Each structure stands twice: as C-alpha cells, then as structure tokens.
Amino acid sequence: MENAGYIALSRLIAQQRALDVRASNIANTNTPGYKTESVVFSDYLLKEKGAASPPGGQTIQMVQDRATYRNYDEGQMLKTGNPLDLALQGDGFFTVNTPRGTRYTRAGRFSISAAGQIVDMAGNSLIGINGKPINVPPGSGALTVDSDGGINSDGTPIGKFAIVQFASQQSMQAEGNSLFATTQTPAPVQQPELMQGSLESANVQAITEVTSMMAEMREFEFASQFVDGEAQREQTAIDRIGHK
C-alpha cells in the first residue's frame, strides 16, 4: 500500500477509536459521577528516507491518537432522598479502598455493608480522614452528613469522609466508569461541599454526543471507502503491468 493508503488507514484507526469513546459516553449517560471523554488527535510527521528530502520530497502526515481528554465539569445534581446518596459540589473526589489499592470517585451512591462499613456500588469501602474505612456502629440511628463531610449517627460524630483533589486531573487514569487512579499525592479539599440525599449525574450531553457520533461515523465510512478504493487502484495497476 502506498503513502495515500497508509495515511487513510491511520485516519480509519483514529476514527474507530473516536467512535468507541463516543459510544462509551452515550452508554454512561445515566452513570452517577461519570465524566465525558474525548479523543485528542494530532499529526504524525514522517519524512521520506534520506539525510535530506530530495527535490520533490514530501513530509507525510499521519493521524496519531495522542490522548484521551476528560471533561471534569460538574454534572447536574439530582435529588434522591436517600441519606447515603452524596453529591460533591465543586472540586474533589471521594476516597475508596479497592483490591487494587486506593482509588477516587465522584459517584456518590453509597450503602452500608454487612460488615458495617460505608461502601460504594462495587462494595469498596470509603476512607475517612484518618486513612481507615468508615464504620457505622451496630444499632446506629439515622445518619446525617454535614456539608464538610462529617458523618453523624443520631447527632453523634462517627467519622469524616476524606475528600481530596489533585494538581492535574487530566493525568488521572479511569478504571471502569466511576473510579480513577493516580500516582499524584492527594491534597485535602479544605472546604468541601456535600449534598446529602442527592447524586451528581453524568455530565454527558446526550444530544451532542449522538450528533458527534453520526458525524464521526460518516468520517469513518469516508476513510473506509478511500482505503478500499486505493486498494482497488493498486490491484488494477498491478494487473495491467502484469499483462504487458
């Protein structure tokens, strides 16, 4: 395949990746705390072989999938009335302990496990400011959560959520649809703002995502047709040369 075909193929691969990301966004429209993702592309410059480009030489521009950009804008706050549904306003993440280590999340749908710990939807225990899981004593009454993350049972404090932030959110790695991993050192949010009985919805703009997906599908089809046409052109050239 000549240069034109390779360039079109690089675009085709990039468009497939873009379609996968859009599909993930649409699928997570109703996932609490989900953050919309976008693919960042750039040109990959490839010079023709040789110490210097010969007369007529060209720089070939391939499409390169550089990174995934995540939109951390706050999602809509939805009232649920569940005392362990918690929404974070502004910056910050809840801290959870997983089998893979400490992770961070904006998905605030929590419950109490059989062991008496406050856990997320996957059963990961939430971590308090003391670095340990938050335990709810047996026989505890109604739980209330202060805006700063303090947890009370019948007015008696039993713990406080570790709400943290990071210098570079874009360098955080997504794990699944609601957890994030990072090697950065977390910094406590000095004045967190929690809303009890509410959830932060995904910040996906469904109409925008569907419209963008349709446009990217057309780009994919165009690149695919170009690759097929280029392959047919080369095969025709080979057949004609072979008959001479």
- What percentage of the chain has pLDDT greater than the value 70? 85
Angstrom distance (rounded) from CA 160 to CA 121: 19
Instruction: For the beta carbon of residue 236, count every other beta carbon within 10 angstroms.
Output: 10
- Rounded to an integer, the average pLDDT of 159-172 is 95
Provide the pLDDT for residue 1. Answer: 45
Question: What are the pLDDT digits (tens) for 81-139?
Answer: 999 999 999 999 999 999 999 999 999 999 999 999 999 999 999 999 999 999 998 88
Among 76, 74, 72, 128, residue whose Cα is nearest residue 97: 128
128 forms beta bridges with: 161
Does residue 171 register a pLDDT over 60? yes
* Each residue's pLDDT tens digit, 13-47: 788 888 888 999 999 999 999 999 988 765 544 45
pLDDT > 60? residue 2: no
- Radius of gyration, alpha carbons of the chain: 25
Q: Does 199 score more than 90 pLDDT?
A: yes
- Give the mean pLDDT of the chain: 85
Please give the torsion angle defined by the CA atoms of residues 218, 40, 33 and 133, in that order, rounded to the nearest 10 degrees.
140
Closest CA to 104 of 151, 169, 148, 158: 169
Chain centroid to CA 82: how far? 26
| 174-191 tens-digit pLDDT | 998 899 999 999 999 999
* Residue 150 in this model has a pLDDT that exceeds 50: yes
Q: 62 pLDDT exceeds 70? A: no
The whole-angstrom separation of Cα 226 and Cα 183 is: 43
Are the CB atoms for 128 and 161 separated by under 8 Å? yes
Q: Which pLDDT score is estimated for 167?
A: 94
Domain ranges of the chain: 3-72+204-242, 77-200
pLDDT-based confidence at residue 165 (cuts at 50, 70, 90): very high
pLDDT at 42: 53
Q: Are 28 and 202 in contact (CB under 8 A)?
A: yes
Q: What is the mean pLDDT of residues 38-58?
A: 56
Q: Are 219 and 40 in contact, with CB atoms under 8 Å apart?
A: no
Residue-wise pLDDT for 229-238, tens only, equals 777 777 777 7
- pTM, whole model, 2 decimals? 0.78
